Amino acid sequence: MSDTSTGKATVTTSALTLRNLVNGTYVEGAAGTDVSTNPADSADVVAVVPRMSAAEARSAVDAAAAALPAWRDTPSVLRGKHLFAVAALIRERADQFRDTICREMGKTTAEATIEVERSAELVEFFAGVGRLPHGDVVPDRRPGVVTTTRHEPIGVVLAITPWNDPLMVPVRKAAPALIRGNTVVLKPSPDTPAVALLLAQVMQDAGLPAGTFNTVTGDVAEIGDTLVRDPRIAGITFTGSTATGRHLGQAIAGTGTRLQTEMGGKNAAVIMADADVTRALEVLLPSIFGQTGQRCTAVSRLLVHRDRYDEVVEQIVARAGAVAVGPAADAATTMGPVVNQRQLDKVLTMIGTAREQGAVIAAGGERLIDGAAARGCFVRPTVVTGVSADMRIWTDEVFGPVVAVMPFDDLDEAIGIANETTYGLASGIFTNDLAAAEAFVRGMETGQVVVNLAPSGWDVHQAFGGFKESGSAFKEHGLDGLAFYTRVKTVAVSATP
């Protein structure tokens, strides 16, 4: 993202000009405009978006607060009908969403297509929740008294979303919030704002009442505190870095604002001696290098039984070399760029630090600089060997196409090494031994555990979220994903006046 006033980017007629949705009206930004560019080609400006002032950000909260009573009182079946209309429009505009995700975030066409489909499915899932029962009849010791629990909306929800899934994460947060009767203010990542503003158009065209869904874009230094510290914000749902999640927790400490976080990960996969190595790597490769490693559940640590270590390294190095790196526009591409120069610098710095600390870069590790690739943020798929547990490449999240490989001697050792991290999002094991698989499932301190599969996270009806510094206690997806957006009221009624 860059400021159009600096001359760093040239806006062409192919760029989208987008506005924020506030109280059912599209608004400009009083603080100017920003542009988002294609990470595969810095000369390609994807969109021009408003930079809102603190006062404009406050107006979005004003709109959400004003719309809350009517939306809260709208029957959930009717709220669900609105969401079904949203899902239908996402599908209708799938090509636009797909192409914008490819250009703005750098995903391949296949990856962006999957994101759009999963986003529509997620909205449909929560739309259907509008017809499900909620609340319970609870026994009461007093004769003639009927006691029930009711699930009510918490109020205005601030959704702060990342750049790596620019459509999926906003709907992951907005859909459950809306079906439970909350109103939403969405603050998307400044790196991928266009997709979120296209989603706002869908919300508007689907007929959601004015103020029910609002968007805010701009400089976080200008509008961040205005949004986060507004006492009318009942809950903040955040996906992003652990550092930012911690900052949010500190900012609302002592207030009544709820916080849901989905943060970093340093996910490990274990390959046992009895595993089918070829199949395991076929399953794992999309989790390692897919989405250019910019996925919360990406496998960045690979623990391999010492008896199979050399075989695994040989195969994964060969597979890394066969990955076709390039822009989404190229049909042959199987891995796109990282999202921007800042992220590219981080990835390359982490690789360089690994080398300085004594690790071996067995494959990749360098930026692509030939021809048109020089205008993009491309890095080759990277395999790091000779690592130790104290190296940054093993302990710190890279969020790029980098995997570190380490041998182990027995399952207990593998579980111990895998758990020796501040994160706890996802983990997996490949084995034919049922007892070993069960021991791994019981022993891992991660919110998602898989056996003979790539780490999950896309299934909209399955609860998703991590332990430790990977996230808060509130899950996303599935019926468990509704808990954050509701408060429980217990009601006792006597038939006798």
296 is catalytic: yes
Among candidate residues 149, 150, 206, the one with its CA nearest the CA of residue 175? 206
pLDDT given at position 115: 97
Report the amino acid identity of residue 489.
Answer: K
Query: Which residue of the set 121, 262, 469, 476 is catalytic?
Result: 262
pLDDT given at position 7: 38
pLDDT given at position 497: 85
pLDDT given at position 11: 61
DSSP string, 245-303: HHHHHHHTTTSS-EEEEE----EEEEE-TTS-HHHHHHHHHHHHHGGGG-STT-EEEEE
CA angle 50, 53, 57 (to 5 degrees): 90
Both tokens assigned to 177: 């919030």
pLDDT along the chain (497 residues), means of 10: 45 84 96 96 96 97 98 98 98 98 97 97 98 94 96 98 97 98 98 98 98 96 95 98 94 96 97 98 97 96 98 98 94 96 97 98 96 93 98 98 98 98 97 98 97 87 95 95 97 93
Q: What is the Cα–Cα distance from 168 to 195, expressed in whole angstroms?
A: 10
262 is catalytic: yes
Q: What is the Cα–Cα distance from 419 to 165, expressed in whole angstroms?
A: 26
Write down all domains in the chain, each with its CATH number in brackets. 2-263+472-489 (3.40.605.10), 267-461 (3.40.309.10)
Q: Tell if the pTM clears 0.75, that is, is over it.
A: yes
Helix or strand or coil: residue 86? helix
Q: What is the Cα–Cα distance from 331 to 79, expressed in whole angstroms?
A: 40
pLDDT given at position 4: 36
pLDDT in tens, 347-405: 999 999 999 999 999 999 999 998 888 999 999 999 999 999 999 999 999 999 999 99
Query: Which residue of the set 56, 102, 104, 296 is catalytic?
Result: 296
